[in-house]
Amino acid sequence: MEYPKLRYVDAFPVDAERGKMIGLRDPSGISQHIILLSPDVFYLLQFFDGRHSVLDLRQKYVETFGKLLYDEQLKQILTNLDSHLFLENDHFANQLQTIEQEFRDAPVRPAAHAGTSYESDPAALREQITSFFTADGGPGLPGEATGRCPKALVAPHIDIRAGGACYAHAYKALAESEAVDCFVILGTGHSGLRHLYSTIAKDFDTPLGLAKCDDTFVTLLHKNYPNLMNCEVLPHKSEHVIEFQLVFLQHLLAGRGDFTFVPLLCSFSYQMLTNPSFAREKTIVEEFSAALRKTIAQCGKKVCLVASVDFCHVGPRYGDEKSPDDLFMSMVQRFDGELIKNIENLDPGAFCETVAHQQDRYRVCGFSSLYTMLNAITAEHGELLDYSKALVDSNQSTVTFASMAIY
């Protein structure tokens, strides 16, 4: 506590009774709390780097704001951050070890977002998902399963309530195709991953029942890529990107035979593929993608990859100074069009180059999952099924997303 160090957290603006505040939340879900800070305290957090002492922090405060930050005030700030597990210290390390062991020992991964992002009652959930197919912008209810099965799907991972109709386009294509044995779900690891990829051999529980993890596939993938044994598992505890796809799969494939799935989280940026300083990370991506492709070929099952991704994130909520206007959103749409064309052409190099050319100006959330999918798949072409967007706050902050099928 003498040299406090802040963990990696998300910050976002909040209009509170006391005026403008800054909210902090833990994207890893290790801490379930959100705490509000005044702008002056938030400013001070940049010095919570483990190198500045509490005396340094008080001095920085005086230099910037021209008034004292008393010992008792700073102690209260530190206690608040520490008690909510926002500081990297022994207290956090001990709590993390306990939480991680409890998760490893749990027989299944319980639903983390039922009752918030989607209905928790099974009947209500089925009705909710069905409504997305028949809603404005939806694809209509699925017909007979007569088409060939896609090698991969691209589906959103935005809150189901905001993007449900777009999800429905991807899953209508799946429901109208031949049966699939195993779905490998490549989801964005929002909290970051030291080893870029993570999987767990654990069944997932949802209101629609138990979704069975394909333990055999996971074991074979570990054999083909042994470094995966060292991955972090705790991000799976609260990450929504796998769970959202499973409730659609369970609803649509009920009565069509059992299916299994593999939960895979991916987390890396375009810089790790283009900057020589990240040679280690680039090698990991290449070797893992090759191992995944090899595992799909060896497993003896009909496999469909599912990229659980969103595209651009723009507006004040995501760091832009101004709300996006029509001109800006037309640029976003043009950029998304290029990405979608790269995916349709199954061209990972062009996909990466498109993002790198803009220096990820539009914050493509699904970059790592899409790039891995494009490198691991053996297919002929992709097809855009739907493209949409959602406003996420009163400042017109916007997320774009799409559904695609790859054959």
Task: For the chain, list residues with pLDDT below 50.
Answer: none
Report pLDDT for 16: 83
CATH of 111-406, one of 3.30.450.40, 3.30.565.10, 3.40.830.10, 2.40.30.10: 3.40.830.10
Predicted TM-score of the model (pTM): 0.88
Q: Model confidence over 371-382: pLDDT tens digits?
A: 999 999 999 999
Report pLDDT for 101: 92
Residue ranges per structural domain of the chain: 10-101, 111-406
CB contact at 8 A, 185 and 152: no
